[in-house]
Amino acid sequence: MFFIRTESFQQFLKLYPVVSVIVAINLILFLFTHIITLPIFVDLFTLMVGFNLYIQMGEYWRLLTPIFLHGSIMHVLFNSFSTVLFGPALEQMLGKFKFILSYLLTGILANVAYYFLGDLMASHVGASGAIYGLFGLYAYMIFARRDLIDSQSTQIVVVFIIIGFLTSFGPGINYIAHIFGFIAGLALGPILIDKIKNSYYDRYI
Catalytic residues: 128, 178
Give the Å distances, CA to CA, from 163 to 11, 83, 135, 154. Answer: 31, 16, 12, 14
Instruction: Give the C-alpha separation, 52 to 2, whole Å.
Output: 37
Residue 108 contacts residue 67 (beta carbons within 8 Å): yes
Crossing angle between the packed helical segments 151-166 and 128-144, to the nearest 10 degrees: 140
Instruction: Give the C-alpha separation, 110 to 184, whole Å.
Output: 8
Count of alpha carbons within 13 angstroms of residue 107, beta-carbon side: 26
Give the largest CA-CA distance in the chain.
52
